[in-house]
Amino acid sequence: MSTKEERDILLGLLKNKSGHKQDVFENTKDWFDVLKKEMEGCIGSLRTKLKDERIRFRFEDKGRGEARLYIGSDVLVFHMHSNVFKLPSHDYSHQTSYVQKNPMNAYCGIINVYDFLADSYEYNRPNDIGYLICRIFINKDNHFKVQGKGKLGLMYKNFMHQELSAETLQEIILRISIYALDFDLLTPPYKTVSQVSVAELDELSSHPKLKTGKRLGFKFKSDIDVKS
């Protein structure tokens, strides 16, 4: 293969594949902005219907790639990944005519949704543990799927026929909130808290180091998927 042919191949990849990924990213970013508006609207609606001041209802826009939804004792952190990914080959979407006719349709942006205890942020406990509840995949043409636990993963898996809308995002927000609030805080193992020095207790009072979190019983197909 000549240098000119290799150069043409490289230019083709940059024009088609890299350009397509940029389109996917921009579309995901646009939908993330819609998602933030729906989160804010959802919280406002809930606040008018439940007047108990002890219950948290708060939305925080943390910038281009993150938003937080404080609801009750939880905070849901929505994080848009800065990269574009291709759905794995074992994903059922690859068996559909939608992806088989155009493999580029399998490239998606990802919005990860994590569940933390609200107190972890309110009291600045950096060692507390959060859990990945689900992740939302969005391609250039607004087709999407949700990978997650329970109904979150079962209701939104038809990548070929599902297209995003503001109403669908609001529905997903509500379902994610229900799923998160349905799991309770677990007591830390006794051995981890059975001994403490005076100095450690003083430090714990000002800067808590004991990990706290909720076990959701949730695991993706592989640890690599979770870490991504």
219 phi and psi angles, rounded to 5 deg? -150, 135
- Predicted confidence band of residue 77 (pLDDT cuts 50, 70, 90): very high
Residue-wise pLDDT tens digits, 93-152: 999 999 999 999 999 999 999 998 898 888 888 878 888 889 999 999 999 999 987 788
Q: Which residues contact 47 (CB under 8 A, 6 or more apart)?
A: 57
- Average predicted confidence (pLDDT) for the chain: 83
Residue-wise pLDDT tens digits, 13-52: 666 788 899 999 999 999 999 999 999 999 999 888 888 8
CA dihedral 186, 133, 93, 162 (to 10 degrees): 130
Closest CA to 108 of 77, 132, 133, 141: 141
